[in-house]
Chain A
Amino acid sequence: MRAAPRTPLVLAVLLLAYVAVPLAFGGQDYVMSLIIAALTIGGIAVAWALLGNLGGLVSFGHAAFFGVGAYVSALLTLDAGWPVLPAMLAGGLGAAVASVATLPALRLRGPYFALAILAYAHIFKILAVEFESVTGGAGGLLSIPGFPTVLGLELGSKVGAYCLILTIVLAWMAVYAAIRGSTWGLALRAMHDSELATRVVGVPSTHLKALMLLVSAFMTGVIGAFNAHQISFLDPDYAFSGEWTVLPIAAAIFGGYRTVWGPVIGALAVYLVDQLVFKELMPSGHQLIFGLLLGAMILWSPQGLLPLISRLGLRSGEGGDKEGKPGARA
């Protein structure tokens, strides 16, 4: 709702992302892989933030949607011969369908949803191992088809994959921004302040939350499918790994999950620093940093780094905005 004066900035960032990054790093496969992985995390972080900010639901189980999306898409291309891009969308739909199983938890207030979804991630992983005839079991799936060439752009190459994931992530950011700016977004944010009051004025709050869950699961599923086709290998431990939950949460909290840009910028910062610095320093257990980061952000700047910077940087206006509201109880 306050996007208008930022248009030149957005255009500059888009230009930088689509033209400057491939030109600068296109030849360096390692750097491109890192950026692709960071954007993959960023995409999940946007989906997580949408659910957390608009739905008011903290999810510790986005790995479940990531894994389901990856498996559905991989199996459709391998067994049913689907082309890759439609299969990725089907992967997203599969994840959305899987999220329906988590709906009963929405009826309960409090931490039930968070714990229920943690349990679901666990269930899906066990199912992927046990249904060996379909999923290949613990051995996983090999040689999943890669991306096709579209309009002369070879999506299978590093630069192509980069453009694809960038487009997906930008699309998800646009969806997030659109929902946030719509009447639904208003109702959802009002719900965050007082669910009872919003119910009284006739907002179907549980339906809206459920809708946010479906959208978030769909987004995460498509990202999971992207990842499966990009690395062309899948096994239950990888597809449902806790990393797909932990990293996006750390990224979204770090960047500020109540903003549209926050999760992606958080993902780029957190993932790149982790891979380039901490992974070198401690080969095992470097996720420790994410835990510390998460705890520190919650204690000292729960709204994320971006609002903190902008609060320090530009003092003008925005005082009455959602960010940084003191003491309000949800």
Chain B
Amino acid sequence: MVELTLQALFSGLLAGGTYATLALGLALVFGTMRIINLAHGELVLLAAYVAFEMERSAGLNPLASIPVALVVVGLTALAIYLAVSRIRTDRELNSLLLTFGVAIVLTNLILIVWSADIRSTSSGWFLEGFVIADTLFSMRSEVVFFGVGLALIAATWWWLNHSWLGRALRAVSSNRDAALLMGVNPALVEGLSFVVSGVLATFSGIAIYCATVVFPALGHNLTIKAFVITVLAGMGSVPGVLIGAILIGMGESLTATFAKPSLQELTAMVVFLLILFLRPRGLFGRR
């Protein structure tokens, strides 16, 4: 019992690293532009399918396809930004509808190009076991991408707090007009937040491809999961996103271990409802 619980918590912790990367991309754009990019999960999925295609046609290791995926996903994210920035009236509502439309387009493009089959990596290295202290089991991919996730979160946090552009981004997010008067170009910063979000999406997409399976309808679920974590964490806290992601990861693996794997998806939803009811600004939210 204790061992099972520890194992579930450990798996959840590792999943949390990938979830954090997934959610931070969404949270970043939400924070900067007050826009939820409903196509975020599809961007993640696109990275996974780029890795799949490179592996299938060129025999490349999923890690080696990261540069290509970065370019593809980054450009797609930029295109979404250019479309969203054209919206003049009723931006909150219309940007949701627009990114929803983009999500449908991407899902169906993926479906048309790569069919509805379930795909996973054929590189066995990632799927091999990795055991800590003879009791805690995991796959190599989970450990690798937990580390990558932590590094990305730390890098993003550092970037937002210590680089000029990162601080400009936070300035735009707290007061767009004041930032403009201080010589920050909001359009540049907002476009940048989409591109950084695309970079984060790329890494989480590759991580998901290496550790589990992907299929066209997955993007939708990823967007929901990213949003649940964002709400749980609250606005404007990067470490909060990491903690929220780990909590969701642990909740899911505990549900899968002690209840039923098919109920796993419900965990995040229930947490989401509780947060909406009890603490709408999230665990670590300011304001």
Contacts and interface: CB of A to CB of B under 8 A. Distances in A.
Interface in B87-123: 87-90, 92-94, 96-98, 100-109, 111-112, 115-116
B97 A294 contact: yes
Nearest to B276: A104
Interface in A162-179: none
Contacts, number: 128
A291 B90 contact: no
Interface in B55-82: none
For the complex, would chain B's binding face be called helix, strand, loop or mixed by DSSP majority?
helix
A117 to B, nearest CB: 11
Given A111-B36, A285-B111, A302-B94, A246 B104 contact: yes
Interface in A303-330: 325-330
A47 to B, nearest CB: 17
Nearest to A328: B89
B227 interface: yes
A327 B221 CA distance: 34
A115 B221 contact: no
Contact of B100 (A107, A129, A294): A294
B154 interface: no
A242 to B, nearest CB: 7
A271 to B, nearest CB: 15
Nearest to B90: A330
Interface stretch (B137-145, B172-180, B264-272): B264-272
A126 B102 contact: no
A115 B227 contact: yes
A136 interface: no
B262 interface: yes
A74 B94 CA distance: 36
B273 interface: yes
For the complex, would chain A's binding face be called helix, strand, loop or mixed by DSSP majority?
helix
Given A107-B280, A302-B89, A126 B266 contact: yes
Q: How large is the interface on B (under 10, 10 to 19, 20 to 34, 35 or more residues)?
A: 35 or more
A193 to B, nearest CB: 11
Contacts of B87: 298-299, 302
A19 interface: no
B98 A295 contact: yes
Contact of B102 (A291, A293, A327): A291
B228 interface: yes
A288 B272 contact: no
B104 A294 contact: yes
A57 B228 CA distance: 19
A287 B224 contact: no
Given A287-B104, A288-B105, A299-B86, A111 B280 contact: no
Contacts of B280: 107-108, 112
Contacts of B86: 299
Contacts of B273: 104
B167 interface: no
Contacts of B83: 295, 299
22 contacts: A56-B93, A60-B100, A104-B276, A105-B276, A107-B280, A112-B280, A115-B227, A118-B223, A126-B266, A284-B115, A285-B111, A288-B104, A288-B109, A288-B112, A290-B101, A291-B103, A295-B98, A298-B87, A302-B89, A302-B94, A330-B89, A330-B90
Interface of B: 30, 34-36, 38, 83, 86-90, 92-94, 96-98, 100-109, 111-112, 115-116, 220-221, 223-224, 227-228, 231, 260, 262-263, 265-266, 269, 272-273, 276-277, 280
Interface of A: 52, 56, 58, 60, 104-105, 107-108, 110-112, 114-116, 118-120, 122-123, 126, 129-130, 242, 246, 249, 253, 282, 284-288, 290-295, 298-299, 302, 325-330
Closest 8 CB pairs of A and B: A291-B104, A294-B101, A291-B105, A288-B108, A295-B101, A285-B108, A285-B112, A111-B36
Given A119-B269, A299-B98, A330-B93, 7 more contacts: A107-B280, A115-B224, A249-B97, A284-B112, A295-B83, A298-B101, A299-B83
